[in-house]
Structure 1
Amino acid sequence: MPSETAPHDCTWMAWPSQGYTLGDTADEVASARRTWAAVADAVVRFEPVRMVVVPDDLAVAREHLHPDVELVPAALDDAWMRDIGPTFVHSGDGTRLGAVDWVFNGWGAQSWATWEHDARIGAFVGDLSGAELIGSSLVNEGGGIHVDGLGTVLLTETVQLDPGRNPGLTRSDVEAELARTIGATTCIWLPRGLTRDYDEFGTRGHVDIVATIPSPGVVLLHEQHDPAHPDHAVSRELRALLEDARDARGERFEVVGVPAPRTLTDDEGPVDWSYLNHLVVNDGVIACTFGDPQDDASLAVLAEAYPGRRVVGVDARPLFDRGGGIHCITQQQPSL
């Protein structure tokens, strides 16, 4: 699996059409559509966007989206393309594109989730991309892994070893499947994700709001500085683990903290707002903002971590209200 910083042919997304992601009120529906459109419009400045849309919503999607966004009709349950779509990989010689079709079961068969249609999107997108489909029996989501392109993968024990996802599997079982599918030679297991991610609409610990690898040997880590927030202890624990870890080359990481927003709570409790849930695109980074005093400083950390790329912020609060962020609703297709 190449690094997200490798050149892309396009970014895939899915249009919100029903369920809790879309919302129950007219205001919630409008907010979801505006936010998904804002992300797509930001991405399409840098690279093509292909948006999977329920056929009945083609007209409303076209009204909201930049004309350069390509619409692809298909049935959907939800709109989290990172998790329902395929994970793209290269052949060893770099001449062929593959698409890993993980098993998707609603983030561990959560009671509120449906996935009849979403479970087919990995193969559907993989086929449209022209990639060779790589089937997998592992229940996994794209938000549950981050790689450096050299064989290192970050993942969390509470996702791939979740009894609701992969009952009975061991670390060794998961590692063997990741070696077969994405070429992982070194797995760095984080014990958990952010606190809010274990609430009703969470993913039970996706790594893509916790840490990422912007370049070989460097890890960006969500850092909560306020002891009043439960993620203060989480980020300290993860820093200690990552500072002791070694990548696929056998080298230690430089761990760079990305300070969390200063907002600590919303109406539901401690927030998991995170600048780590960004998408790297060709020549740019599409970053989460929160109308927070910390936005500018933390986006500056991202700009330094991705030299030569323009950082564009999009208000991600409506996404996090629904359980995810910008990285969660996008999936890059790497170039050959």
Structure 2
Amino acid sequence: MAWRMPAETARHDRTWMAFPVEGQTLGESAAERDEGYATWTAVAHAVAEFEPVTMLVDPRELARARRMLGAGVEIVEAPVDEFWMRDSGPTFVIDDERPEALGAVDWIFNGWGDPEWADWAAAAQHARIIARGVDAELVSSTLVNEGGGIHVDGQGTVLLTETVQLDPRRNPYADRQRVEAEMLRTIGATKAVWLPRGLTRDYDDFGTNGHVDIVATIVSPGRLLLHAQNDPAHPDHAVTRKLRAHLAEQTDAAGRSFEVIDLPAPSTLRDDEGFVDWSYVNHLVTNDGVVACGFGDERADAVAREILGEAYPGRRVVTVDARPLFDRGGGIHCITQQQPALGQSSPTGALA
């Protein structure tokens, strides 16, 4: 069998998410917790305008989830601690020679390098729980990796970051060749494009150490959207220019040079914790739509919607305020995981 991860622009059967639970990530105060619940709910409702949404909900949060999500979001009861579904959930793959086959890559998830603050034992089981529920073939991996650490074009190209897959807290014995071999085996990537690093804030204690999904994404074969920090007062001004020069020298699996399209950052440079990593790159492409991050910057949000609309023609772009997500360590892409549609209706089953 030859597994292949489709591009995010391919049709989806559904999007998976996980409902927040109380703890350090959600917030210490009642107001912070309410903000978190509301933001995860807002993203779910925005995605549900375009495709079905299934939400893993911890038993402790069932009543709240049912009340807030309503009938438009399917709820599946399962243990939850970390609730960043892009990273803890499965990476879905297909087999072009078996149109009815759905695979689910189960990366090892250790909470982004097993930091002291992370509670990830329950989240590490999400990929297997979901795979059983949708009757997907489990593609078990020995690589510590997260869905936010990869982006693909569906035609053999994968974007990676040296400080993620080669992070000694994740994979102390890995090298590029071993990582690339695993990318070929699990998601069908024949060409790895390595970024040297991610955004500055992402290297803080609560960061991912350089996830690509706030930096760059392949919108179509040969075309990249790149986070562009245009203010020299922000350290990512230099970072994103170096990344742009680096990507301009790369080629994809078909040998094409990349057309790099800048996606400018909003005007806010700092919050109470330091320089922000607010990025419009961290959007979710859905069936006939794009759910984009908003940052309370009317002009920048509008520019981002225009660029995203041009990058994904025929899709309606909607914005959800993502500041509460970034305050907690991620964005819209980070809390969602798409399940690709198959030749016919893919089995959904019942999660056990």
TM-score bin (small chain):
over 0.9
SS at 1:67's partner residue? helix
1:191 corresponds to which residue? 196
How do residues 218-237 of structure 1 correspond to structure 2 at under 5 angstroms? 218-237=223-242
SS at 1:108's partner residue? coil
The letter for the 1-side match of 2:9 is T
Give the direction of change, closer, same or farther, for the CA distance of 1:170–1:230 in structure 2 (3 Å limit). Answer: same
1:75 corresponds to which residue? 79
Equivalent residue in structure 2 for 1:7, among 11, 18, 32: 11
Q: CA separation in 2, counterparts of 1:55 and 1:20?
A: 18
1:291 corresponds to which residue? 296
1:253-296 alpha-carbon deviations (Å, 9 max, x no partner): 10000001111111111100000000000000000000013111
Q: Is the 8 A contact 1:20 1:322 kept in 2?
A: no
Q: Is 1:20 aligned to 2:24, yes or no?
A: yes
SS at 1:232's partner residue? helix
The letter for the 2-side match of 1:243 is A
1:319 corresponds to which residue? 325
How do residues 120-131 of structure 1 correspond to structure 2 at under 5 angstroms? 120-131=125-136
Q: CA separation in 2, counterparts of 1:316 and 1:77?
A: 21
2:42 corresponds to which residue? 38
Q: CA separation in 2, counterparts of 1:22 and 1:262?
A: 26
Structure 1 vs Structure 2: percent identity of aligned residues? 65
Q: CA separation in 2, counterparts of 1:298 and 1:4?
A: 18
Q: Is the 8 A contact 2:15 2:53 kept in 1?
A: yes
CA deviation after TM superposition for structure 1 residue 186, in Å? 0.3
Q: CA separation in 2, counterparts of 1:195 and 1:182?
A: 28
CA deviation after TM superposition for structure 1 residue 107, in Å? 0.2
Equivalent residue in structure 1 for 2:113, among 93, 104, 108: 108
The letter for the 2-side match of 1:321 is D
1:156-207 alpha-carbon deviations (Å, 9 max, x no partner): 0000000000002100000000100000000000000000001111100000
Q: Is 1:303 aligned to 2:309, yes or no?
A: yes
SS at 2:325's partner residue? helix
SS at 2:32's partner residue? helix
Q: CA separation in 1, counterparts of 2:60 and 2:80?
A: 11
TM-score scaled to structure 1, two decimals? 0.99
CA deviation after TM superposition for structure 1 residue 68, in Å? 1.5
Q: Is 1:60 aligned to 2:64, yes or no?
A: yes
The letter for the 2-side match of 1:59 is A
CA deviation after TM superposition for structure 1 residue 94, in Å? 5.0
2:279 corresponds to which residue? 274
1:298-317 alpha-carbon deviations (Å, 9 max, x no partner): 22101100000000100000
Q: CA separation in 2, counterparts of 1:278 and 1:86?
A: 18
Q: CA separation in 2, counterparts of 1:223 and 1:205?
A: 15
Q: Is the 8 A contact 1:18 1:78 kept in 2?
A: no
SS at 2:25's partner residue? helix
Q: CA separation in 1, counterparts of 2:304 and 2:53?
A: 26
SS at 1:107's partner residue? coil
Q: CA separation in 2, counterparts of 1:55 and 1:163?
A: 35
CA deviation after TM superposition for structure 1 residue 129, in Å? 1.7
SS at 1:174's partner residue? helix
Q: CA separation in 2, counterparts of 1:311 and 1:30?
A: 26
SS at 2:62's partner residue? helix
TM-score scaled to structure 2, two decimals? 0.94
The 10-residue stretch of structure 1 (256-265 or 120-129) with the greater mean CA deviation from structure 2: 120-129
Q: Is the 8 A contact 1:98 1:134 kept in 2?
A: yes
1:77-121 alpha-carbon deviations (Å, 9 max, x no partner): 111000000000011325111000000001001110011111111
Q: CA separation in 2, counterparts of 1:163 and 1:246?
A: 27
Q: Is 1:331 aligned to 2:341, yes or no?
A: no
The letter for the 1-side match of 2:160 is L
| Segments ≥4 residues shifted beyond 4 Å | none
Q: Is 1:265 aligned to 2:247, yes or no?
A: no
Q: CA separation in 2, counterparts of 1:107 and 1:14?
A: 17
Q: CA separation in 2, counterparts of 1:317 and 1:332?
A: 22
Q: Is the 8 A contact 2:22 2:33 kept in 1?
A: no
Q: Is the 8 A contact 2:56 2:78 kept in 1?
A: yes
Q: Is the 8 A contact 2:309 2:316 kept in 1?
A: yes
Q: CA separation in 2, counterparts of 1:278 and 1:38?
A: 14
